[in-house]
Structure 1
Amino acid sequence: MAFSFSFAGDDIEEDHQLPASSPTAANSTAANSTAAGPSPSAAGAFPVQGRPLLPPTHHDLDDILSRLPSKIAFSLLDVVLADGRTVQLPRRELWDVRVQLMAEDSTDNPSESEAGLGEHDVKTGIYEGGFKSWESSVDLVKVLASERVADGLGRDPCVLIELGCGTALPSLALLQWALAGGQSEQKQPLVLTLADYNPTVLYLVTLPNLILAWALQQREQNPCVGGALTPDEELELTPEVLDAFKGSLAANRITLSFLSGAWSPEFVDLLSGSAATASLPATTKTLVLGSETIYSPFALESFSTTLLAILARERRERPSSNARALVAAKRLYFGVGGSLDDFVDRMRGLGAAVRTLFEETQGVHRGVVECQLF
């Protein structure tokens, strides 16, 4: 299946420091329900009706690592939290992604290559979101900090799932916080699952950003990593650096899992059947994350039913885990029809309890909500 990639649009500026916003707690008006949500539909994550969708697929870490270039260029995004602290999150430069795509492009049709690197607005049927860092993903980082999610990392067995991950800013923050806790024999396992519709996004930006987040956190402790970071904000991906990355994950009991393909019942089965989570105890804490995943009615429908299926399965298999989801989105997606209010109504209609954790009323109105099944 061919894709058209677009790198234009409203990506967060690389040198833009985002202001702090204090999350606002709101009382939930949803009634709790003990009934599991309905089975997810076959709608896919890429909401174009009648178009074939990629099947859910698991990707091995070593396989994705083998596709990385010898070095990657990056920039840093400063996220100012509600308490005044600043989190620095790395993102691979889009021009560096372009260079890799052009180097790998073996198509005989120049128009396809040009479309992939062209200047497009957001259009239905043109996949472009995964390479960008959207404002709502930054909102989600702030909420993760204010909710003190980092306190449970290493203390409890945790499963963290980011759906529609793209540049994976929330997961980058979680990885840095998990590594900051240091190594110990008492440290509990963490399974971090990154899922994006397009497998290309996983190896072009998701995994590179995770490696960058690890490298920045480890540069003072590991001479190999410090020497691989250049003054020009590039990281040399030598075999020694990649081995150190995998070794650090193992030493900290962190497992990375990667999934691609459309949201569907098969996607939920693949996610739940992961070998990394099979041996985890019933007390495992599960947190599902999503940002900018409900930007059209089709995406909203497939995301909400898939999310409910994940939460319902977690409740059934780990009743004491109190699985929950944090979803960040714009209040309204002009021109394409999705909205956060529609998502909240949909989730409550399917039996979930929903409460607002964050609201941004300046500029583009956005919010972050928590969803749970009881």
Structure 2
Amino acid sequence: MATNTSFQLFSSSKDKPSLGLGFLESSEPQLPPPPPSVEVLSSEVSSSVKYTVEPVNLDGLTLLKGRVSTKEVLGLPNSDLVPGIYEGGLKLWEGSLDLVKALRSEIQNGCLSFEGKRVLELGCGHGLPGIFACLESAAEVHFQDFNAEVLRCLTIPNVNANLLEKAKPETVSEVRFFAGDWGEIHQLLPHARESEINLTSSSEHGQASAYDVILMAETIYSISAQRNLYGLIKKCMNQPNGVVYLAGKKHYFGVGGGTRQFLSMLEKEGVMAATLVTEVADGSSNVREVWKLSYK
């Protein structure tokens, strides 16, 4: 287990992320165009899909999460993902749990506070990290996923289940939900528009308009999607004081992505610094990591 260890990022001339939408490189068939970006209202929660609540214990912290059928929600056979159609949001990935644990540790160590902050969770799926931010008195928490169906059938019910039972009435966060592709969703996110314009500005107006904390777990598995993801982070992140907490596997075998490949891309641009918050090497799965990103 490593804690708050600085890491000298590495780069390689052969690491050239594709700008296309393919899950792999050019050998993959071209994917369909992404769905339009939309805001999904809390009132749009699905009543036609069976939703079963289950507890998740995270070292003494208990959160609630739902279980739904991929076939029932999307008309697809149970699958981790279908590139360009369904990006895995109905499955509870290990990185999401690692991220919640890391955030809790950061708070306990005095390195992080959500109180009064604007928070964005990208690729949220179940939304447990964003839900944790709500429970820690964030002012606003916005959840983004590729699929609107995931938000209606899983994320919104999960948020409701946790906040109705656990949130303090005087500190209830404003929650909103957005579906769409990372290359386009910034046009809809409330706090991305002005921060995109003021990316190089240090004005108070530019800082006030952006997200203070961005959370994401298991979002960097596809090399071809990483550049859009990084571009979105820069459009959304408060400068200079915003932070990103990224959880993922060191390498995603078979698809080319991973935390180290993503960090290599960041190092090449030289805008952000990265600090390793925790590493999970339990011997039962690929090595998993949580990183903290901030402007240099």
Q: Equivalences for 1:290-309 in 2 at 5 Å? A: 290-309=216-235
* In 1, Cα distance between equivalents of 2:207 and 2:83: 42
* In 1, Cα distance between equivalents of 2:37 and 2:23: 12
Could you list the per-position Cα deviations for residues 142-185 of structure 1 after superposition, in whole angstroms to 9, with x for gaps in the alignment?
1101110897344xx3111000000011112222333xxxxxxx
* In 2, Cα distance between equivalents of 1:259 and 1:196: 7
Change (3 A) 1:55 1:46: farther
Q: Which has the larger radius of gyration?
A: 1
* In 2, Cα distance between equivalents of 1:346 and 1:160: 24
* In 2, Cα distance between equivalents of 1:336 and 1:166: 20
1:87 paired residue number:
61
- Segments of structure 1 that go 5 or more residues without pairing to the other structure are 1-21, 31-40, 81-85, 102-111, 179-188, 222-247
CA contact (8 A) 1:46 1:197 kept: no
Residue 285 of structure 1: how far off its partner (Å): 6.8
Q: Does 1:208 align with 2:157?
A: yes
Which has the higher relative contact order, 1 or 2, with Cα contacts under 8 A spaced 6 or more apart? 1
Q: Equivalences for 1:170-185 in 2 at 5 Å? A: 170-178=129-137
1:372 paired residue number:
294
Match of 1:134 among 93, 109, 115: 93
Could you list the per-position Cα deviations for residues 37-93 of structure 1 after superposition, in whole angstroms to 9, with x for gaps in the alignment?
xxxx9866988745211232222333x24x44598421111111xxxxx11111112
Q: Does 1:342 align with 2:291?
A: no
**How many residues end up aligned between the 2 structures?**
270
* In 2, Cα distance between equivalents of 1:45 and 1:306: 18
CA contact (8 A) 2:186 2:235 kept: yes
Match of 1:352 among 248, 272, 283: 272
Match of 1:267 among 163, 185, 191: 185
Match of 1:255 among 169, 174, 189: 174
3-state SS, counterpart of residue 371 of structure 1: strand
3-state SS, counterpart of residue 130 of structure 1: coil
* In 2, Cα distance between equivalents of 1:253 and 1:45: 39
CA contact (8 A) 1:56 1:270 kept: yes
CA contact (8 A) 2:210 2:236 kept: no
Q: Does 1:26 align with 2:9?
A: no
Q: For residue 158 of structure 2, what is the amino acid of its counterpart?
A: N
Question: Structure 1 length normalisation: TM-score?
Answer: 0.63
* In 2, Cα distance between equivalents of 1:29 and 1:70: 47
CA contact (8 A) 1:44 1:302 kept: no
Question: Structure 2 length normalisation: TM-score?
Answer: 0.78
Residue 29 of structure 1: how far off its partner (Å): 3.1
* In 2, Cα distance between equivalents of 1:42 and 1:56: 20
1:146 paired residue number:
105
3-state SS, counterpart of residue 131 of structure 1: coil
3-state SS, counterpart of residue 189 of structure 2: helix
Q: For residue 113 of structure 2, what is the amino acid of its counterpart?
A: G
Match of 1:53 among 30, 34, 42: 34
* In 1, Cα distance between equivalents of 2:53 and 2:119: 25
Q: Equivalences for 1:1-16 in 2 at 5 Å? A: none
CA RMSD of the aligned region, Å?
Answer: 3.4
* In 2, Cα distance between equivalents of 1:346 and 1:284: 23
Could you list the per-position Cα deviations for residues 102-127 of structure 1 after superposition, in whole angstroms to 9, with x for gaps in the alignment?
xxxxxxxxxx94xx2x2446553552
* In 1, Cα distance between equivalents of 2:62 and 2:71: 24
CA contact (8 A) 2:250 2:288 kept: yes
Q: Identity of paired residues, percent?
A: 26
Change (3 A) 1:158 1:273: closer
- Segments of structure 2 that go 5 or more residues without pairing to the other structure are 10-17, 196-204
Change (3 A) 1:125 1:372: same
More helix by share: 1
